Every structure is written in structure tokens, then in C-alpha cells.
Chain A
Amino acid sequence: QQQVKQSPQSLIVQKGGISIINCAYENTAFDYFPWYQQFPGKGPALLIAIRPDVSEKKEGRFTISFNKSAKQFSLHIMDSQPGDSATYFCAATGANSKLTFGKGITLSVRP
């Protein structure tokens, strides 16, 4: 049973465009939703995170939108750059102290 589902599986965006990655979760006990960015051969790095008491959080070109009633959250990358090409994981956790990850999505930003 996959508790965190990402879509699409892969994404190709032109430089300067907006990249949108979606996640859906099932467990209503989750109360923290981070996004991780991973470059090939490296460990994932925490990019941005949100809690369900806010609907949106922005850090630079990265924005998380959160819809509690739909149990969905998404990552928007504005003005996408080739350097943003990486694998992006959404995750969720709650009181059980374990992070549950989505399967990841590969973003390619074309120059």
C-alpha cells in the first residue's frame, strides 16, 4: 500500500517554464510534508517543507501548495533552470517518526 503517490513519473520543461509536481497522501495523521531534491549519485537534500496549518509556502523559486481536504500537495518551480534537473521526492510523516517517501519524479529542464 503506497501511502504517498507522486505524479507525473517524469517531467520535461523548457528553461524559464514552471515545473509542477504533485503528491497525494492517504494517512490523515501526517502533519509534515517535505520535498527532497536529489542529483545523480548524491544523497537527497531537503528543499522545502510545509505543515497542514498553512496552504502555501514559498522559498525563492520554490513553492509548496497544500490542500488538506483533498489530501494533496504540490511543488512548483518557477523560472525553471537546467540546474534544477534532478529527481524530486515528496514525503510525509507524523507522530510515528518515520518519513514515507513517494517514488520520485525525474525533472529535466531543457536549455
Chain B
Amino acid sequence: DGGITQSPKYLFRKEGQNVTLSCEQNLNHDAMYWYRQDPGQGLRLIYYSQIVNDFQKGDIAEGYSVSREKKESFPLTVTSAQKNPTAFYLCASGTTPYEQYFGPGTRLTVT
């Protein structure tokens, strides 16, 4: 069963804690992306990776970190430096930037 999986679906953390969101794909896609979605804001790019062991900052990278040690995996860490971390986080992958396929998302709540 091919696709993009994100876990967990819901995540709760206390303020000041780092938290890592998982994203795995078995579509053999080279590129992977992390977006943040807030009500009325659309999707904003956090980080993207076009190849293993390489990644670039997106439009809102501050307070986030990523790694790309395997083609299938692109975990996102939300650090305590992110001032407003509560949001819906979406991972995507694609063979080219023109077509991106999204996972089901993780809703992070920080209190």
C-alpha cells in the first residue's frame, strides 16, 4: 500500500519542549516537503529536500529543523524556539516540484 504516512495524527506538548513529527513515504520520490497550515493562511513551506543528505529552508524555517538521512524519511523537529508552534503540519513528496502528494497531516497543540 503506497503512500505518505505521518504520525501521530494528534500531538500534544508542553511549551518549551522540542517535538519531532514523522514523515515516511514509499513512493520512491526524491523530493520531500514540510508545510504548516494555519486557518486563513494557506500552506506555508517550512523546509524541503530534493535529495538525501541535503535540504533547504522554506519561507518560515525559523524554530524548525529537519534531517534527510534516508530517501523514505524526512522528520521535522519543532523546537522550543518556534514562537507559535500550534498548527496543522503537512508533509509532501514528489518526483518533480510540479506534482506534490500530501500526507494526512499531524495536528500539533502546544500549551
B and A form one assembly: yes
Interface residues of A (CB under 8 A from B): 32, 34, 36, 41-46, 49, 89, 93, 97-99, 101-104
Could you list which residues of chain B lie within 8 angstroms of chain A, going by C-beta atoms?
A: 4, 6, 31, 33, 40-45, 48, 50, 58, 90, 92, 97-105, 107
Q: Check A99–B42 contact: CB distance below 8 A.
A: no
Taken together as a complex, chains A and B put the C-alpha atoms of A93 and B97 apart, in Å, by 8
Q: How far is the CA of A101 from the CA of B50 in the complex (A)?
A: 19
Given known A43-B90, A45-B102, contact A103–B42 (CB-CB < 8 A): yes
Most chain A C-beta atoms within 10 Å of own C-beta, residue among B33, B102, B107: B102
CB pair A43 B104 closer than 8 Å: yes
Most buried by A among B31, B44, B98, B102: B98
Residues in chain A near residue B103, CB distance under 8 A: 43
In the complex, how many angstroms separate the beta carbon of A53 from the nearest chain B beta carbon?
Answer: 14
The answer to whether A101 and B43 have CB atoms under 8 Å apart is: yes
Within the complex, the shortest CB–CB distance from B87 to chain A, in Å, comes to 14
Could you tell me if B105 and A43 are in contact, using CB atoms closer than 8 angstroms?
Answer: yes
B4, B42, B48: the one within 8 Å of A101 (CB)? B42
CB contact under 8 A between A99 and B100, given known A43-B90, A44-B43, A89-B42? yes
Are A44 and B102 interface neighbours, CB within 8 A?
yes
